[in-house]
Structure 1
Amino acid sequence: MEVKCDPTTVGDNYGGRFDRGWACRDNQASVIVQITDTCPCNYPSNAYSNKRWCCGDEYHLDLSAWAFEKLAEPKWGVIGIMARPVSCSTKPWKPAPTPPEGASSENTRIPRPWGWTDRRPWG
């Protein structure tokens, strides 16, 4: 998938709203990610969380910390994204660069930040 940050407000279908209209580093830059698994709806040791995010409530992608921090500061955890399927050999028109030194720290890295998509392709 090619993924880029979408400056918007996102919701979690439980009434939670997250204003991320200002969180993108560059909403024209993108990263290419490979989907490696799906989110199981029934996962006993994390039942509420998986039901909230993985049972069809909101379409989303879990991005690696390294992909996420190219799009936004990791401390935000949730951002709006636009995503489209592409070949693994695709090169982004404007690749998201590695964040500048000091732009994030080990303290703000989170293991699995949440990302959202409305499945809109862009031109």
Structure 2
Amino acid sequence: MKGKSPRAICFEILNRIEKTDSHLDWLLTDSFKRYRHLTPLDRAFLTELTYGSLRWREKLDWVIRHLSKVPFEKVEPKIINLLRLGIYQLLFLTRTPASAAVNESVEIAKTLRGTINSFFSLEPQLPQQSMSPWR
């Protein structure tokens, strides 16, 4: 695929929502116009990623708080959005290979000035189901 991936576009949309409080529908429509290389399947995936990351935002933030070595409030919003996107795929998109979610998140992270590794221990573990906020 040439051009930005659906995950990279989702990351861009999440950051725009954070900065401008724009409506997701408008941002998706704008992205579909700007990124004409997206296939119908890519558009559907982008829509799922953006709506899902926002729908489950509170629960994703709970996971980030649980895994982070840095207080949540001190983490750059772009990094939080990237983590939300990656964790959403790992926890909720069962047909998405974990390797694809992680690799794409790493590629997007390379565009950021900071590093994500500093926020997590070397062997992070997802919370036990009994600790989960959605149980």
Query: Same-fold call, TM > 0.5?
Result: no
Q: Which structure carries more strand by proportion?
A: 1
User: Which range, TM-score by smaller chain?
Assistant: under 0.3
Q: TM-score, normalised by structure 1?
A: 0.26
Q: Which has the higher contact order (CA 8 A, sep 6+)?
A: 1
Report which of the two has the higher share of helix.
2
